[in-house]
Amino acid sequence: MRVSNRISHQWVLGTVLICTAVLPTAALTTDEIREEFVAAPGGTLVVEVGDGHVEIVPHDEDRVVVEVYRRVRAATEQLEQEALAEYEVKMAQRGDEVRIEGRTRRQDDWIETREFSVRFVITAPRRFSADLRTADGDISAHGLEGRFQARTSDGNLRLRDLRGKMTVRTSDGEVEALSCAGSLELQTSDGSVHIDNFAGPVSARTSDGDITASLHPPEQASDFQSADGSISLRVDPASALTFDCQVADGEISSQLPIQGSRTRRRLQGDLNGGGPVLLARVADGDITVSAR
């Protein structure tokens, strides 16, 4: 079931209300779209937007609430209304999947002549999977339990309190995962990676940026790779782990009693008898291993 409304001070069309507010001192138009879908836990949220930020938050209700906030500033109100009309938002539900799309109909540089921004705030049942994609914008999510995928071509990724299998990628942006559990596979072409209080295996790669990771005792192997940046790994000193660390141009330092072979640029050895492998590779940068 789908429920939609838009709030308007200007006109009403059936059950859909459209609200436009223009500031008198400067040309600025804001627009809000709100829709609801009846959706039980265990479903999937699919979001594909061209330009826009996406934020996912959980609740304990059997419904998905979608709020879209659009802002545009141009020379005239007419140009602003044209910009809103050109950016199309589609929402639909099929079975247990809720799909949201947002993109401009035109492919020219019309948006560059206007100050335009859009933000999707989506509230979903806590036990819900998500597949999120945006060409230009940040993605943030917290509190969900289920499969989680996110990709942005130009933006940051912020994850907090997620549970499940996580796969995230950004071509240009930072990645942050805080207090998550499950498995994490992440990649950024240009940005740093910060992982804190993570429980489960991790595969993290960045072409240009530092990686910092604080891990619970892992039960499976994890790997961390940076082409141009340092890696800092913090683990419980009581963990049973096997380390395999190497740098091409840099140094390796460890504050833990790892037994094995160690040189300035290579560390191979066991902590507390050994266990799952923690692999770290850096082309240009340092590797530091310490207690969390």
Domain spans of the chain? Answer: 1-46+57-132, 174-292
pLDDT per residue as tens digits for the range 224-233:
999 999 999 9
Provide the b/e sequence for 228-260 (b: ≥16 CB within 10 Å): ebbbbbbbbeebebbbbbbbeebebebebebee
Token duo for residue 28: 């600025």
Residue 221 one-letter amino acid: A
pTM: 0.87
At residue 83 the predicted structure's pLDDT band, cuts being 50, 70 and 90, is: confident
With contact defined as beta carbons under 8 Å apart, do 195 and 166 qualify?
no
At residue 29 the predicted structure's pLDDT band, cuts being 50, 70 and 90, is: confident
CB atoms within 10 A of CB 89: 19
Query: Based on the number of CB atoms within 10 Å of its own CB, is 108 exposed (0-12), middle (13-18) or buried (19 or more)?
Result: exposed
